[in-house]
Amino acid sequence: MRAKAVIQYDGSRFYGFQVQKEGEKHVLETVVSRIEALFKVLGIESKIEGSGRTDRGVHATGQVIAFDLPEHWKDLERLRWIANQKLEGVVFRSISKAPEGFDPRRQAKGRIYRYLLTTEPKNPFWADYVHFVPEIDPETIRKGMKLFEGEHDFVFFRKSGSDEPTTVRHILNTRFYKHDKFWVLHFEGTAFLRSQIRLMVAALLELSNGTISASQLQEQIDAKKRYVSKPAPASGLYLAKIKY
């Protein structure tokens, strides 16, 4: 049986989402490797397929994964309960039956990411989950975010070494709002390049503090000139939802 699950995880505990190796001997623990290790104990040999990979330190509140279950696993609610008892740093919000051949990445219609900022004094309890900034100009950031909307070649907003066949992406909408003590940057798009959100946030913060102008940001969006190349920290980024 093909199954679909929506999961949450604390990215600060993992070396990213996808299975990866450091050299030839040591395998770094990732979200997928931890889930697959538990599944193997439960008699589930399937590989985990995700809607998209997240880098080390990036969190998720709505990552979607798919896997194949053997005949003896028909009680999906029990599987969810066991997974949530045994896994550390990962929570299965739901598990449901999916159509045969369901591909969580290729069939996704949209993805929502959120990035959290705060101007509160630094504290060690938030350090892995939010980006601390001394001050921000909310209206400047809000206007800057609107420049990203639509279809653009985001070649200057991707991590070096990426091998995507095209760097053109379509951002459907953006929002900037305050929730309690946090400022939230909300991005919805059909897909995103590696580190694209973090580079966009970094550019918006440079715009907010006056390091770059709106016209310079527009130049980078238009792929004419790069002004910002260092991404914002991974700690503030959350994969929030996948749309199908």
CB 91 within 8 A of CB 9: yes
Closest to 236 in 3D by CA, of 12, 16, 8: 12
Instruction: Supply the residues annotated as catalytic.
Output: 55
Strands 2-9 and 90-97: antiparallel
215-221: which pairs have CB atoms within 8 A and are 24 or more residues apart? Answer: 217/144, 217/147, 218/147, 220/156, 220/157, 221/147, 221/148, 221/152, 221/154, 221/156, 221/157
Cα–Cα distance for residue pair 200/154, rounded to 1 Å: 10
Cα–Cα distance for residue pair 137/207, rounded to 1 Å: 9
